[in-house]
Amino acid sequence: MLAIISVFFVLLMCCQEGLVSYIDGYGFDTPLNGFHLTQAIPQAIIHIGPHKAASTYIQSELVSLTKELANANYFWPTRKDGSLMGTKEISSFAFAVRGLLPAPEPVMSTMGSFLQHSLRNNHNIIMSSEEFDDANATHVATLKNHLQGFNVTIVFVYRELLAQLISLHFETNRFEHEDFVKFSTSFSGFLFRMLDTIPQMLKPAEAVKIYADVFGVERMRVIDLLGVAAAREDVVHVLLCKIGGVLCHYKGFPQLNTNTGTPVHLSNSAYSLLPAQVFSFYKSYLERQHNNTCRICGSVLQEYHRFTARYKEHLKVHAPPAITTTKLSFLVPLSQQADATLRDTYGSAILYSNRTANLQAMSKVQVFEIDPEFFMMDVYWNEWIHLEYETARADKKLCGCKV
């Protein structure tokens, strides 16, 4: 009998991780021959996006809550010196997993150190990057390999796809991204350029399936963003409380924009790119002056902000340019089908599922844009653009304008 107990004790000491794996993450605080098994498998919550589904908001809130999360034994990734990783570093890890970094070793080494440290100390971890969304099965298997030893939960945030498209158009046409945004593109032009990508965006169930096939369906959680909004909840609170089981009583989440009744993280779906479009007309006009030698001195973004402020001020005394409204009726059936497929396939994994809220949102989606033909023929606004150009020259905001 003593021999059997001795063998069991040796196995327990050598194979503690295996035993904990067997009990699937539930720790015991009951003495076994004097040995307390108090350590459960550490949890890993991996938010994979997708793009334009509140990812920036989620990441910002998670980083701001690192102290509160640490008190609940959840940790955002840190560098080897213990400082917090930035969201771009998490994205770099996602890119490295996808084989897109030319020199991935430093990124992998830093993340590997964090993961091993977390395992040794039984720390739960949480990380977020929309760049995980574009992974294929091989990439996901690589991610799973890096997360060995953790009880992993994959979180996908579902946003109805018409609003997602509009938000993507907004993001790629703001002059905040002056490195690649030269002119604001119309929504129809944006859709034409996106023809190859839209079919993939309209299949959220397939994006979830890639991860479900590797990690298992039981490890998947899908947050219905509009369902969360309809319940007047906060998506980060859902992520942490309903999935992570922590910070359930935390009251500091922004939740709703009190001015519009729209959740802060959904505001892009009701966006306006009108100032950016008018600025594009202005920028095009000034760059054609003096044999195409004129350009904005310094930051285009700063001039855009100055121009936008003047434009909005001018609207107080003059009617805006002619507007055209685009409804996305032709995409609604595709979006409805994508919604139905996701719910039929992963309904049990969806938190705050609300098909009605999503269908209503799809039916109301529309885009407001400057009508370019009317604008080019509008004498008043053409004269205003010219006056803005003259003002910018007088204020020395333009360079290279050869007389």
pLDDT, mean over the chain: 81
Per-residue pLDDT reduced to its tens digit, 153-206: 999 999 988 887 777 777 666 655 545 445 567 777 777 776 666 656 668 999
Listing DSSP states for 158-226 in one string gives: E--HHHHHHHHHHHTT-GGGTTT-SSPPPHHHHHHHTTTTHHHHT-HHHHHHHHHHHH-GGGEEEEEHH
| Tokens standing for residue 21 | 């794996």
What's the average model confidence in pLDDT over 272-289? 83
- Decide if 213 contacts 137 (C-beta within 8 A): yes
What angle do the packed helices 137-146 and 204-215 form, to 10 degrees? Answer: 40
Domain that holds residue 211: 41-161+200-268
Residue 306 domain-assigned? Answer: no
Statement: residue 9 has pLDDT above 50? no
Q: Would you say residue 300 lies in a domain?
A: no
Return the closest-CA partner of residue 69 out of 45, 39, 93, 40.
45
On whether residue 315 sits in a domain, the answer given is no
Domain membership of residue 152 (yes or no) is yes
pLDDT score for 267: 47
Which letter does DSSP use for residue 329 in this model? Answer: G
The mean-pLDDT minimum among 61-65, 256-260, 292-296 falls in 256-260
For residue 205, the one-letter residue type is A
pLDDT digits (tens, 9 = 90+) for 67-114: 999 999 999 999 999 999 999 999 999 999 999 999 999 999 999 999
For 284-338, strand residue ranges (E) read 295-296, 323-327
pLDDT band at residue 22 under the 50/70/90 scheme: very low
Classify 393 in phi/psi space as left (phi over 0), alpha (psi -120 to 50) or beta: alpha
- Residue 186 counted as domain residue: no
What are 287-332's pLDDT values in tens digits? 888 888 888 888 888 888 888 888 989 999 998 898 888 777 878 8
Per-residue confidence band for 272, with pLDDT thresholds at 50, 70 and 90: low
Within-domain flag for 390: no
Reported confidence tier of residue 213, pLDDT bands at 50, 70, 90: very high
**DSSP code of residue 78:** B
344 token code pair: 């039929």
Number of domains in the chain: 1
CATH of the domain at 209: 3.40.50
Confirm whether 95 is domain-assigned. yes
Pairing between β-strand 350-351 and β-strand 220-224 as defined by DSSP bridges: parallel
